[in-house]
Structure 1
Amino acid sequence: MQVNPSFRLAYVPGVTPGKWARVWGERLPDVPLDLLAVPAADGERTLREGDADAGLVRLPVDKDVLSAIPLYTETTVVVFPKEHWLAAAEDDVALADLADDVVFHPLDDTLGWTDLPGRPAIERPATTADAIELVAANVGVLLVPQSLARLHHRRDLTYRTVADAPQSQVALSWPQERTTDLVEEFIGIVRGRTVNSSRGRGAAQAPEPKAEPKKATARRPQPQKAGQKTGQKSGQKPRPNAAAAKRGKPRRGR
């Protein structure tokens, strides 16, 4: 029994591949799409080790090994308790506004800080989820992409946009040496290509144009010469009239 190949797609927290997965199911119903949720820090490793065919990961990635197509850039927000003084801010918050706050820097941070604002915590939380728990305990605040703030939503927490903070960029990435037809198919889906313009195996082949039947050309009638009867070929002597042939020459008198 032949097993149909599957396409393994890794994705990191905050990324929702559902809309692309639905299109895949419509275009390639015979190829299962296996969705693999991985921690943010493991996105690149998963692709390098061949555990997934492609991935929706956060940049940067090693461009010497992996190809990447940037898809979108996320807004950065600061997460804090609803009783925090930042809750009174109606507009964007600036990094300078966090100078007196403890700002957590989890080990799975996705913003790539070079100079973290605020006051450092005693130790770095292992994960963003752990940092959220500390924020809920009113120990400090956390800066994350907006999708992660929504993923870890709690009723006792809220967030505000931080306009001057670093931002996280999400990309479709895959190993350069394994750019297969199925990878090309998924690239077409995330880029919004139609089926006919796709480069992958699901691309529809345009039917060859049918040859039009040759039209019969009517022969033009040859012009009739003066004194020539209809149906008489050119150069042919006229046939004698039958009645005249019977009459023949005048009979001699007996």
Structure 2
Amino acid sequence: MNPPSLTLGYVPGATPAKWARVWAERHPDVPLGLHTVDAADAADAVRAGTVDVALLRPPPDVSGLSVIPLYEETTVAVVPKDHVFSAVDEIAIADLEEEPVLLPLDDVVAWGDAPGARVEYRPENTAEAIELVAAGMGALIVPQSLARLHHRKDLTYRPITTAPPCPVALAFAAGTQSPLVEEFVGIVRGRKAGSSRGQTQPAPKRSAREKTLAKQAARAAAGKVARKPGGAGRGRR
């Protein structure tokens, strides 16, 4: 029998390091395999069992998947460092209206009515699109993590105000009964070591009225203690 293990897929730009570190601390005897998967293939990799769980950008079709939203990334425009956009901290959608914009075939922003004059040629992938941005062919709209991943000294990026954000989620096969997958989900959700769904649940939170009554009782008890020694102060006129 093969020893237990877990395989985590993640799309370019996603950063599983912090969760992998916690996993290694809690389960040193259970290897966590990390595998980069293309954004377009991530969901199918989970469905096919190629990976047990994946950090991905949710696809339109999530059939067969359990998807847990994690966070949303800022959408940015990548441009040459000497571009006029580099003079400001952020840009508006209107600023891109006349700007040539590249749309790679592996685009993950899925912004249907994105601004800009669409460049006819579509690069094969984001890496090629970055090369074309450096060559002055146009801007590239991507999640901020991809702009950082493909950082170059001759390029910069600026957040696009009011642009739709780029969500990242955790996905695993729907209906899975794998304890290892459930444990990883717990780590991602911030569950502390030693806690589990099957263990005693923490005491329910007290209502505002219960908290008020508890404070009143504490004050009354404190008052009794303060008056107790020798009955000090009694009988004075």
Structure 1 unmatched ranges of 5 or more: 205-254
Structure 2 SS opposite 1:78? strand
CA distance in 2, matches of 1:61, 1:186: 24
CA distance in 2, matches of 1:31, 1:61: 33
**Partner residue of 1:72?**
71
Which amino acid in structure 2 is aligned with residue 79 of structure 1? V
CA distance in 2, matches of 1:136, 1:198: 50
Q: Percent identity?
A: 56
**Partner residue of 2:33?**
34
CA distance in 2, matches of 1:147, 1:127: 15
CA distance in 2, matches of 1:107, 1:165: 20
Q: Choose which of 167, 171, 174 in structure 2 pairs with 1:173.
A: 171
The 1:186/1:13 distance shift into structure 2, 3 A limit, reads same
State whether structure 2 residue 105 is matched by structure 1 residue 110. no
Kept in 2, the 8 Å contact 1:111–1:168? The answer is: yes
CA distance in 2, matches of 1:80, 1:116: 16
Structure 2 SS opposite 1:16? coil
Structure 1 SS opposite 2:161? coil
Which amino acid in structure 2 is aligned with residue 144 of structure 1? V
Kept in 1, the 8 Å contact 2:123–2:129? The answer is: yes
**For this pair of structures, how many residues does the alignment match?**
200
Q: Choose which of 127, 130, 133 in structure 2 pairs with 1:129.
A: 127
What is the Cα deviation at residue 8 of structure 1? Answer: 0.6
Which amino acid in structure 1 is aligned with residue 95 of structure 2? D
CA distance in 1, matches of 2:101, 2:58: 22
Q: Output one character per residue of 1:114-173: Cα deviation in whole Å (capped at 9) or x when no partner.
A: 112111112211111111000000110011111000000000000111012122111110
Measured on the aligned residues, the alpha-carbon RMSD in Å equals 1.7
CA distance in 1, matches of 2:193, 2:60: 29
**Partner residue of 1:183?**
181
**Partner residue of 2:2?**
3
Kept in 2, the 8 Å contact 1:103–1:120? The answer is: yes
Kept in 2, the 8 Å contact 1:185–1:199? The answer is: no
**Partner residue of 1:148?**
146
Structure 1 SS opposite 2:41? helix
Q: Output one character per residue of 1:49-89: Cα deviation in whole Å (capped at 9) or x when no partner.
A: 11010000011353331001111000111110011111112
Higher helix share: 2
CA distance in 2, matches of 1:159, 1:147: 11
Kept in 2, the 8 Å contact 1:184–1:199? The answer is: no
The TM-score normalised by the length of structure 1 is 0.75
**Partner residue of 1:53?**
52
Structure 1 SS opposite 2:137? coil
Structure 1 SS opposite 2:43? helix
Which amino acid in structure 1 is aligned with residue 180 of structure 2? L
**Partner residue of 1:99?**
97
Q: Output one character per residue of 1:19-43: Cα deviation in whole Å (capped at 9) or x when no partner.
A: 1001111111111101010111111
What is the Cα deviation at residue 196 of structure 1? Answer: 2.4
Kept in 2, the 8 Å contact 1:112–1:166? The answer is: no
What is the Cα deviation at residue 108 of structure 1? Answer: 1.1
Structure 2 SS opposite 1:162? strand
Higher-RCO chain (CA-CA 8 Å, sequence separation at least 6): 2
The TM-score normalised by the length of structure 2 is 0.80
Kept in 2, the 8 Å contact 1:58–1:169? The answer is: yes
Which amino acid in structure 2 is aligned with residue 120 of structure 1? R
